[in-house]
Amino acid sequence: AQKITQTQPGMFVQEKEAVTLDCTYDTSDQSYGLFWYKQPSSGEMIFLIYQGSYDEQNATEGRYSLNFQKARKSANLVISASQLGDSAMYFCAMREGRSGAGSYQLTFGKGTKLSVIP
Amino acid sequence: DTEVTQTPKHLVMGMTNKKSLKCEQHMGHRAMYWYKQKAKKPPELMFVYSYEKLSINESVPSRFSPECPNSSLLNLHLHALQPEDSALYLCASSHLDWNTEAFFGQGTRLTVV
């Protein structure tokens, strides 16, 4: 079973509007971290925002916020006031607390391609 | 310094060549990773080093050979690659905690001809 599911292969949003990118996850661990990364066409993976499994409040970082619903196992990314530079691939990822070998590697979803329309 | 530096940014190599990808970080991270990413796909984990020791090899063919000479450097040695190995190779590093982010380099775009 997939650990991270992103059901939107592509999304369009008008400039200056808000957009929500969906992410659901599957884990039996109590301790886990959820991350969103942005990947422009240049290739670099840029860290955007983090939500821990024990965090009671939704994370926010500037125009990015994470809508964390633990019971539903969802961690949706909300981008407010979209800009043309937000056009990129967006990946949801998870690190589980009991990953083997003490490495806590990231597991990625398939990604959502966001296109911002002027 | 929150940078992970990868060199080279682009590499074209023949199937009989030997080349190396390099990755460097100075954030004190004790975990370093190699990912392979094909176009329009998520990154796939290849190798994980923790405390300079190989801890995970995701059944990667032996034509890819990782090396971690010290806590700041990670290499990926390439030999006798196939055209299907053409991809973006991403290096990442992190603390050994589940609740901290991993930092990625800009990647090396590899083309095997």
How far does the CA of residue B96 sit from the closest CA of chain A (Å)? Answer: 6
DSSP states along chain A: --SEE---SEEEEETTS-EEE--EE----SSEEEEEEEE-TT---EEEEEEETT--S--EETTEEEEEETTTTEEEEEE-S--GGG-EEEEEEEEETT-GGG----EE---EEEEEE-
Tracing tokens 């691939």 back to the chain, one arrives at A89
The H-or-E segment that residue B94 falls in is strand B87-94
pLDDT of residue A99: 59
Q: Which of B49, B43, B7 is nearest to A92 (CA)?
A: B43
Residues A12-35 pLDDT 10s: 999 999 999 999 999 988 999 999
- Residue A81: CB partners within 8 Å, gap ≥ 6? A16, A17, A18, A63
Query: With b meaning 16 or more CB within 10 Å and e meaning fewer, what string describes B27-56?
Result: eebbbbbbbbbeeeebbebbbbbbeeeebb
Q: Which of A34, A51, A106, A110 would you mutate first to test chain B, the one with the most B CBs within 10 A? A: A106
Q: Which of B9, B101, B110 would you mutate first to test chain A, the one with the most A CBs within 10 A? A: B101
* B23 vs A97, more confident: B23
Q: Which residues of A touch B48 (CB under 8 A)?
A: 101, 103, 105
Q: Which residues of A touch B45 (CB under 8 A)?
A: 105-106
Average pLDDT rounded to a whole number, residues A81-95: 97
Residues B41-98 pLDDT 10s: 999 999 999 999 999 898 999 999 999 999 999 999 999 999 999 999 999 999 988 8
The H-or-E segment that residue B9 falls in is none
- Which residues from A are below 8 Å from B when comparing CB atoms? 31-33, 35, 37, 42-47, 50, 52, 91, 95-97, 99-106, 108-111
What six digits make up the tokens of A65?
């916020």
Q: At B27, is the secondary structure helix, strand, or coil?
A: coil
pLDDT of residue A46: 96
The H-or-E segment that residue B33 falls in is strand B31-37
Closest alpha carbon within chain A to B55: A101
